[in-house]
């Protein structure tokens, strides 16, 4: 259980550090001319999918 918490903590800290850097240095649009707001409709799915992934991984760790 301790190893799982360490891994989750490292992943969380990595996200906290890398996401602001990624947003700061990201290009204003990709090569096809799309703006970042074209992908905004996908943002509402990210946190529920991450939560589902964490729950499934915990279940997989303990029961399979």
Task: Look at phi and psi of residue 33 and say left if phi exceeds 0, alpha if psi is from -120 to 50, else beta.
Answer: left
The string of pLDDT tens digits covering residues 5-58 is 888 888 888 888 888 888 887 766 555 555 656 677 777 788 888 999 999 999
Q: What is the pLDDT of residue 13?
A: 87
Q: Which two tokens stand for residue 60?
A: 């997989």
The residue behind tokens 């905004």 is 40
Residue 64 has what pLDDT? 79
Domain boundaries, the chain: 1-29+40-63
Q: Quick one: CA dihedral 30, 36, 23, 14, positive or negative?
A: negative
pLDDT of residue 50: 92
């Amino acid at each position: 259980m301790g190893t799982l918490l360490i891994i989750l903590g490292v992943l969380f800290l990595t996200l906290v550090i890398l996401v602001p850097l990624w947003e700061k240095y990201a290009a204003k649009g990709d090569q096809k001319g799309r703006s970042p707001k074209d992908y905004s409709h996908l943002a509402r799915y990210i946190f529920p999918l991450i939560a589902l992934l964490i729950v499934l991984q915990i279940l997989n760790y303990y029961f399979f």
